Structure 1
Amino acid sequence: MDVADLSPAQARERFRAGQRAPTAGWCRGWTQANLIAVPKALRYELLLFAHHNPQACPVLDVGEPGAWATRLFPGDLRTDLPGYRLYRDGVPVADLDDVVAEWRADLVPFLIGCSFTFERALLAEGVPVRHLEMGTNVPMYLTNVPCRAAGRLSGPLVVSMRPVPRDLVPVAVEVTGRYPMVHGSPVHTGDPAAIGIRDLGEPDFGDPVEVRTGEVPLFWACGVTPQAAIMASGVEYAIGHLPGHMAITDARDEDYRVA
């Protein structure tokens, strides 16, 4: 079966059984989300950080302390994603297939909106999505744009990049602007150096993609931003998804379309 035709439950079952892959293009029409789980003592600061930086950190759902399921994600957050990253004192110390042994009773899971949600809408309007064409992960970059701090949490904005033909840039901006809860319209268009990106061929997360003649790089706020804040702030313990390896929820993409 084409992974685009899987239901969220079928995809989660595959990941639980050990399949590992970036999830762009999986489960057509179903919303994907970034995972970040932090100690209970930090949960309100993360909520405030998200409130201060809503385009990068749109909160779709929050679980109770110790919970490994939420209303939108009825699977097991410890096993049902295709990859995890473990942080200690802000340092990524391991990429893991599951985090059953690492999931602490005080961890509070947050699900943050993901730009994969609007990619089908882009395709429907004739806007190419290069990482889907190439079968790779989306490229993601740390920027020199600081997020607004909240308590102990601060750090840089992370962006994802999709190259768009110049004449389709207004279409891409308009289409993605209909999805504000999954990052909305781009935060930057054009020169990557203006936001501190030196080389598009060397993303900080994900895989590089080709930018062709006549195309403009468009940059969207990215839900890996909380993980960048975890690193910049030296948070003592946290669990995130492996960038591009998302939590596939039981919400529909159209639930987040506002116009």
Structure 2
Amino acid sequence: MTRLQAELQRLYGFSQTPPSDADANGNGGLRAAALELSAPADWQAMGQLWRGVQADLGLPAPAIAVSGRNGYQLWFSFAQPLPASRAAAFLEALRLRYLGDLAAGRLACLPARAEAYADADGADALTLPPQQLTPERWSAFVAPDLAPVFAEEPWLDTAPGMEGQADLLMRLESIQSADLGVALKRLGGLPAAVTPAPVPVPVPGDAATDAPMQQARRFLLAVMNDESVALALRIEAAKALLTACCSPRP
């Protein structure tokens, strides 16, 4: 196992290949979740969230990555495996607090699952960097001070150094369950003015939009039905679902 693979295993429970059925996620929970902001990449907004996670919530810094396409990613590591609904609630709470004024279509808030590797071409799949997406585009982890440099071209032209990627990850720590619980309580006190961006309603039969729409509905339903999530977040998720269901189709 290389140093990079060891760091990916330590932080996220798996490296760049799908884990087996009896994988490092233990009881089937998730140790990794990713939030991506794209179209266009916007480090000012993403950087605000990255700093807020640490300054406002007292959590370890997430890993910063360029997607290799047109966005930035933040990768969160959980020390103990989480139910998918709890990981989803955490990402949704962060979105509402720090990115609530951005269009929903620019955001992907996804618990990272092994299934993402089996469907890497899917519209709702995120995979751990570093990955080669085209001959001259790589996703990669990047240092905080270099993140703004990639706003125009959020990718690397050549393969990143594996030792350098490992060095970036070795400085990071996982979020402990107790700290996550405190953070979710803090995030539950959302300003009344903050409302989730409406879920876009796809044109029937449009495969390019159907998959993200279904994923968004599953995401919101999981948050709404999870009794361990703060009531304020469950209400916001229900509102977003209601908006999607009642919006007129074009």
TM-score (structure 1 length as normaliser):
0.28
Is the helix fraction higher in 1 or 2?
2
Which fold has the larger relative contact order, with Cα–Cα distance below 8 Å and residues 6 or more apart in sequence? 1
TM-score (structure 2 length as normaliser):
0.29
